[in-house]
Structure 1
């Protein structure tokens, strides 16, 4: 029976559907296979990526450990180098000090002063290099204290003017009224930056004044302090300015050969200023001169009676205290330092007891046996920190004497550990004789009102105490640190000359101050009192520094009564100093 048309059409449709289904199934199978393979590849890539991440994380962790180890090694290297350099340098300067004390021949004393100046210069270079290394290692710390920028700049001016390098140059200081009387900051580091800039100005100019300016503007922190140092020297080519603040960099010019140095002064200054949140730069015209400046935000101290610092040692504000007869335990392993410290102790009238290491110091120590302990940090068998820690633990309930750390290490790097061990004060080597003597005097100040071992009462002697000063020389009336610093720079004859000029200048300024007080000119009174204070500070007449401060800030008590009374007291002190000049 012949096939009809509908059947043929149905068969062809069926065949097409079967073929389409087969093609769809084949395509689905192909795509499923491709998806399976893609998932497999993705899983493999994911595993590889995870492994790569783990390996990279391990590499980064290892790199971090290596970096931390390198940083630790660098810090240890700095501490070691500091110790190894400063220990012999301290012995050298100390022996020069001892020779100077006994030398009467002016020619030999002059040579010793030159040797001391050279050693001090070497010490400054070492400190520059160590400061730079501390910054690199991240162990450079900043202090917070009251800073009197006016006294700081004035002391820099007078000290540099007394130095042979700056004796024939005029240094002009212009401090704007906008500058706060006191602010919080690191006085030592600010002094370091300004001194670097002023010394550079002297090195790279041959004539003309050096002008130091300070001004301030409002800032969220309190005030933005700006300090400028201008010279009229060779100037700097614009293309070389970017190299100024680079490490170990010096700009080539006709004066470079004479301007000796490490090339680190400006680099360190930049790091200091940046470290306290400030900015430092320069504006210069080649052949005409340069103005270096820095700006730092500071918190203003509003307490008018707060005591400010100018970056010097606090001993400049304190009169000496009798220390003869004090019993001192000296823990020191270095033979040269042993001899030096024992000789120092003998010259001071102390009763020393030597311990060659920390273990021996611990065995010798007992409460009430010593009035002070001088503990070297780096010693064999037991170091000074461990010995101090054990002393504090063993006699925790007893009244123990002050314990000073003597260290040639970087003081900043060990400060935290030293404090936790129970160290009362850190003294960095090299330690000059007068600095050590003053530190010991300060240590016994709390006991100054107690009877001493001979039944007397140790008494602080001010420069204006007439009975005590009756036979005193001018050098006796000066603070130990100022006396040592000035003698090392200019010698005894120049010091006497400066004191004569000081007495004459003070007499003139006191006349102006008295006239201003009678006229009701408070600003002139403050300015003259500030100038008197700055000059007295440099020469170490500590009672006059305090008297000038009280006049400047209007902090006159019952003893002074008025500006006129304070002026009379000032004149009385000048009379004592003038009389001492003739002895």
Structure 2
């Protein structure tokens, strides 16, 4: 029965066993009953031990009374008196056998009778044994040491056990009756004191719930100060609180009803507004959709325009640079060579500008794709510096490179994009530095997670104003409007560096002070594949490094040599005319200027020496031989080239080599097919290949190439992509369908320089890709890759 179903009628039908008074009385009676049982058991136990002792005491008294007469009877051997004595003992109800036995064991008299039978005898026998036997020796006072015989008595314990069981039954029955009487008394008392007041309280509470107005619940008489009175007081307080809450709830419901009515009015108005807004939103969405389609169309048109612009501009530039390159290989006077060189350099600047614009456009369009291939970052930086040093003509600017010895030998990343970043930062530093130095340093930071490389380009140029530090990374923006007039440039280089660095997951920062110089720091997360190794150089003796004051190259070179575990010492000097005196003893010399080499040649001619200077300062072979030089090395020097030179120092001095010797070409037996529709580009490529020693056959389009290949043989095909009649893509696919030509190397020579164009060439079956305009060195490297058995131009 749940608490929610109570009413006055239900309260009158509560079972007796469910009433609180009965439960309380039951608990009290059960406690009293168990206590009475325990007390009765204790009393019965005490009575048992007393009864057991009484049996032995009673028989002991009988034996003590009969012992004297029995002793005299045994002494006189009087059988008649003996029978009378044992018959007298048998008169006692518990004794069932009595006899007197002489000292020979012969009974003088013996009487007995059967034991009593009863259904409760087994209880008595369990408690007191079935029978008990007692024997007492017979003596006379005047002959105490002589044994006359024994008095033997056997006892039936049931007489005493029956009395004990009757007393135990009465004891336990009285305890039960007492518990029952106590339960009735407690039930009446608990009903009067507890149940009746609670029933009265419940009825009063039900009566109050039937009225709407709050009334106080009356307290049952006589219970004002006990727990029931406290319960009534708590109920009255709760009823008062409920009444207050109910009134507040009614008022809140009334206000809520008013708010709902107002809300319905507001919702109706807002619904009308939303309908109007939805209509406007649908119009806006349609406009956005139209704008998106227009933007996609413009993006496709922009991509097509970039591709066409790349092709249309690269094609004439390729012809221009190619023809200038071929012309520079011919004999001419110095004035003509200088003019052609200026034109050739201008074409390369134009090509670099075009590449920057295309790369920046690809980045903004989200089409820039990065490679993840192993490369040597130290070698990449050294090669870039070597190339830069060949094209810079600033005598007062020192170009230096410092590579962390812990830099891994192989890193994983995109070497092309890393080279672009370094080249642009170097070009920017060289452009704005008139004197001092430009230092490129590489630092390996393995403790960062993930590990990264820090590339720093430090210069002593004009610096950047603090307010212009962020604007320099915007396309077509420079720190000062006067910069373009003084130094030139488009402002694309740093913007491209920032975009490429962000694409590779790195950071680009700049610190600068006007008229003091700038430091550009690039941090790239590159994964190490092969750790750095220390080369072994079997070179004994001290190496003396000459270093003109205020220059960086000597200190960097000394640290590198000491890392290679070589004994290196610096000899600083103010200018070539003032040789430091006295010279430290050394086994080898590294000299940093031709003028100092001339001064040192007058002092000593036996010490092995290397000349380390920029390309523009290197001497011809005859002059170098007169100065006793083993080798001339370009600065900044690469680690690999310096290592080879040091290993050759112990050998006899060879004819001094420089980096400006003319190129020679060995004859080749390879036959190449050139597929090119542009006559100028055909002349350029054919001229380059002929000078390399190859046999070249040129055709104008893909259909002609396909027909020629079905009749003739060649070792490699150079394929243009955009041609009339049949383009290079279709021609390559058809060549791959011919079983005899499926392994023929095909290299794409195209002015389409976007990443999608490279992928399109690979899908058509071409083996490699070279974008126009290309340098002879790049073409030569590709031919050596796909024709490895053929000789190539050597320097």
- Normalising to structure 1: TM-score of the pair? 0.63
- Counterpart in the other structure of 1:401: 744
How much does 1:278 deviate? Answer: 1.0
Farther-moved stretch of structure 1 (38-47 vs 363-372): 38-47
How far apart, in 2, do the equivalents of 1:196 and 1:158 lie? 14
- Counterpart in the other structure of 2:779: 436
Q: Are 1:276 and 2:504 an aligned pair?
A: yes
How much does 1:419 deviate? Answer: 1.0
Contact between 1:178 and 1:217, CA under 8 Å: does it hold in 2? no
Structure with more of its chain in helix, by fraction: 1
- Counterpart in the other structure of 1:390: 734
Q: Are 1:427 and 2:655 an aligned pair?
A: no
Deviations 1:225-260 (A, max 9, x none): 111112223222211112111111112287653322
2:441 to 213, 223, 226: 213
How far apart, in 2, do the equivalents of 1:221 and 1:228 lie? 20
Show the 5 A alignment for 1:353-502.
Answer: 353-366=697-710, 369-392=713-736, 394-395=737-738, 398-445=741-788, 448=789, 458=790, 460=791, 477-478=794-795
Contact between 1:323 and 1:441, CA under 8 Å: does it hold in 2? no
- Counterpart in the other structure of 1:300: 528
Deviations 1:522-554 (A, max 9, x none): xxxxxxxxxxxxxxxxxxxxxxxxxxxxxxxxx
Q: Closer, same or farther in 2 for the Cα pair 1:323/1:279, shift >3 Å?
A: farther
Partner SS, residue 171 of structure 1:
strand
- Counterpart in the other structure of 1:152: 380
Contact between 1:201 and 1:210, CA under 8 Å: does it hold in 2? yes
How far apart, in 2, do the equivalents of 1:188 and 1:39 lie? 63
Structure 2: unaligned runs, 5 residues or longer: 1-260, 534-637, 640-662
How far apart, in 1, do the equivalents of 2:717 and 2:445 lie? 48
Partner SS, residue 301 of structure 1:
strand
Q: Closer, same or farther in 2 for the Cα pair 1:210/1:433, shift >3 Å?
A: closer
Contact between 2:735 and 2:742, CA under 8 Å: does it hold in 1? no
Contact between 2:394 and 2:434, CA under 8 Å: does it hold in 1? no
How far apart, in 2, do the equivalents of 1:390 and 1:182 lie? 40
Q: Are 1:193 and 2:452 an aligned pair?
A: no
How far apart, in 1, do the equivalents of 2:272 and 2:498 lie? 53
- Counterpart in the other structure of 2:675: 331
How far apart, in 1, do the equivalents of 2:266 and 2:485 lie? 73
Q: Are 1:249 and 2:477 an aligned pair?
A: yes
How far apart, in 1, do the equivalents of 2:531 and 2:708 lie? 47
Deviations 1:541-577 (A, max 9, x none): xxxxxxxxxxxxxxxxxxxxxxxxxxxxxxxxxxxxx
- Largest Rg, 1 or 2: 2
Q: Closer, same or farther in 2 for the Cα pair 1:433/1:226, shift >3 Å?
A: closer
How far apart, in 1, do the equivalents of 2:262 and 2:485 lie? 78
Farther-moved stretch of structure 1 (36-45 vs 46-55): 36-45
Contact between 2:407 and 2:531, CA under 8 Å: does it hold in 1? no
Partner SS, residue 282 of structure 1:
strand
Partner SS, residue 209 of structure 1:
strand
- Counterpart in the other structure of 1:172: 400
Deviations 1:58-87 (A, max 9, x none): 444333322222221111111111111111
Q: Closer, same or farther in 2 for the Cα pair 1:320/1:61, shift >3 Å?
A: farther
- Counterpart in the other structure of 1:62: 290
Contact between 2:463 and 2:515, CA under 8 Å: does it hold in 1? yes
How far apart, in 1, do the equivalents of 2:698 and 2:438 lie? 50
- Counterpart in the other structure of 1:21: none
**Cα RMSD between the aligned structures?**
3.5
Partner SS, residue 435 of structure 2:
coil
How far apart, in 2, do the equivalents of 1:221 and 1:386 lie? 48
Partner SS, residue 526 of structure 2:
strand
Contact between 1:283 and 1:290, CA under 8 Å: does it hold in 2? yes
Residues paired across the two proteins, number: 410
Contact between 2:397 and 2:433, CA under 8 Å: does it hold in 1? no
How much does 1:93 deviate? Answer: 1.0
Partner SS, residue 102 of structure 1:
coil
How far apart, in 1, do the equivalents of 2:449 and 2:666 lie? 44
Contact between 2:405 and 2:532, CA under 8 Å: does it hold in 1? no
How much does 1:304 deviate? Answer: 6.8
Partner SS, residue 258 of structure 1:
helix
How far apart, in 1, do the equivalents of 2:314 and 2:391 lie? 24
How far apart, in 2, do the equivalents of 1:93 and 1:378 lie? 20
Deviations 1:130-166 (A, max 9, x none): 2222223333322222232222222333333333434
- Counterpart in the other structure of 1:224: 452
1:136 to 360, 364, 369: 364
How far apart, in 2, do the equivalents of 1:402 and 1:68 lie? 38
How much does 1:332 deviate? Answer: 1.4
Deviations 1:311-345 (A, max 9, x none): xxxxxxxx999773433222211121123233334
- Counterpart in the other structure of 1:483: none
How far apart, in 2, do the equivalents of 1:327 and 1:477 lie? 20
How much does 1:276 deviate? Answer: 0.5
Q: Are 1:81 and 2:309 an aligned pair?
A: yes
